[in-house]
């Protein structure tokens, strides 16, 4: 029985979505609101976790809760995701721009040197950050991302993000998401408020601007391509990633989802060959969203890497 059970719900403040074993907070950095999650306590080795495009910091709830016993885990919502403001220049986007937003945030939080865990777009952001600010990075874990991606898998992500502008209910959204995530056994419908916000008309929209950004891009380029698919500049997003990866001079663990349709086995091997100190591990029974598809294996692999670093 809770100590608050004697109160009516209307007498209590709104409940906030606090992650398992962790904390949720906000900070203003250079005129922008940034939302973050954290686990553990200051004074322990810091692990900074960067989520993928279209996701939020809550994707690291299992990893944060596990590592929080021994580390200080910090996971921000990246710009224009979750409850963080967009970049001040709306034309700025891509790994270098996202990476440039991190040093002021880390300085505000008092972090000096950390191990970075980056999934998908968060991984590209980590690759862009590390050679530009090597003093901030002690080691890197990349989750299912590389310098070369599979077009069909990327298109599937684009189609999912663009297919529904809004939802009438969280249950409708849950059904839509369930069709996209075949490796997830279940998830709580109520937890979708981490990724969706309710509009004034009652409908629910994504807490990220990826789909809207792509729609604007398509309008600028004149619509769909001849094959009926969105012609989006993924080569531009990946521009310079191979060179940045080659310049990273700290240990890098690349985790590939065993059933990923975004990062092929060949591309993963190529990236490890480009890296100075890289090695590859496979997250079995997982796709591109490996950290959520198989959190147990992801936690164990990351924990082992941190132990190897002495971090």
Residue 261 sits in a domain whose CATH number is 3.40.50.1820
CA 204 to CA 168: how far, in whole Å?
A: 6
Whether 93 is covered by a domain: the verdict is yes
Whether 123 is covered by a domain: the verdict is yes
Whether 222 is covered by a domain: the verdict is no
> Tens-digit pLDDT profile for the chain (311 aa)?
566 777 877 777 767 789 999 999 999 999 999 999 999 999 999 999 999 999 999 999 999 999 999 999 999 999 999 999 999 887 778 899 999 999 999 999 999 999 999 999 999 999 999 999 999 999 999 999 999 999 888 888 888 877 788 899 999 988 888 777 765 555 677 788 898 999 999 999 998 877 666 666 666 655 544 444 444 556 678 999 999 999 999 999 999 999 999 999 999 999 999 999 999 999 999 999 999 999 999 999 999 999 999 99
Whether 154 is covered by a domain: the verdict is no
* Number of compact structural domains in the chain: 1
CA 105 to CA 113: how far, in whole Å?
A: 13
Query: Which segments within the chain are labelled E, that is strand?
Result: 22-29, 32-39, 46-50, 72-76, 114-119, 137-143, 196-198, 204-206, 252-257, 278-283
Whether 168 is covered by a domain: the verdict is no
Domain span at residue 129 reads 17-149+238-309
Taking CB atoms within 8 Å and a gap of at least 24, the contacts of 40-44 are: 40/67, 40/68, 40/69, 40/70, 40/71, 40/72, 40/73, 41/72, 42/72, 42/110, 43/72, 44/70, 44/71, 44/72
Whether 229 is covered by a domain: the verdict is no
Whether 25 is covered by a domain: the verdict is yes
Whether 143 is covered by a domain: the verdict is yes
């Amino acid at each position: 029985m809770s100590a608050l059970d004697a109160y009516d719900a209307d007498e209590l403040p709104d409940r906030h979505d606090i992650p398992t074993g962790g904390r949720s907070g906000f900070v203003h950095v250079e005129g922008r609101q940034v939302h973050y999650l954290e686990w553990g306590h200051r004074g322990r080795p810091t692990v900074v976790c960067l989520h993928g495009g279209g996701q939020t910091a809550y994707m690291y709830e299992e990893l944060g809760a596990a590592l929080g016993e021994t580390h200080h885990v910090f996971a921000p919502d990246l710009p224009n995701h979750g409850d963080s403001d967009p970049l001040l220049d709306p034309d700025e986007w891509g790994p270098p721009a996202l990476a440039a937003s991190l040093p002021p945030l880390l300085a505000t939080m008092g972090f000096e040197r950390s191990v970075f865990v980056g999934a998908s777009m968060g991984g590209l952001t980590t690759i862009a950050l590390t050679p530009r600010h090597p003093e901030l990075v002690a080691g890197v874990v990349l989750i299912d991302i590389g310098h070369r991606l599979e077009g069909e898998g990327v298109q599937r992500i684009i189609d999912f993000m663009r297919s529904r502008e809004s939802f009438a209910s969280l249950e409708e959204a849950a059904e839509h998401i369930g069709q996209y995530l075949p490796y997830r056994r279940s998830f709580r419908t109520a937890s979708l408020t981490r990724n969706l916000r309710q509009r004034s008309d009652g409908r629910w929209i994504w807490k990220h601007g990826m789909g809207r950004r792509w729609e604007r891009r398509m309008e600028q380029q004149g619509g769909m391509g001849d094959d009926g698919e969105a012609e989006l500049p993924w080569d531009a997003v990946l521009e310079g990633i191979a060179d940045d990866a080659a310049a990273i001079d700290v240990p890098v663990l690349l985790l590939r989802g065993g059933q990923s349709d975004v990062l092929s086995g060949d591309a993963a091997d190529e990236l490890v060959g480009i890296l100075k100190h890289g090695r590859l591990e496979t997250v079995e029974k997982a796709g591109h969203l490996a950290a959520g598809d198989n959190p147990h294996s992801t936690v164990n692999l990351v924990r082992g890497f941190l132990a190897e670093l002495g971090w």
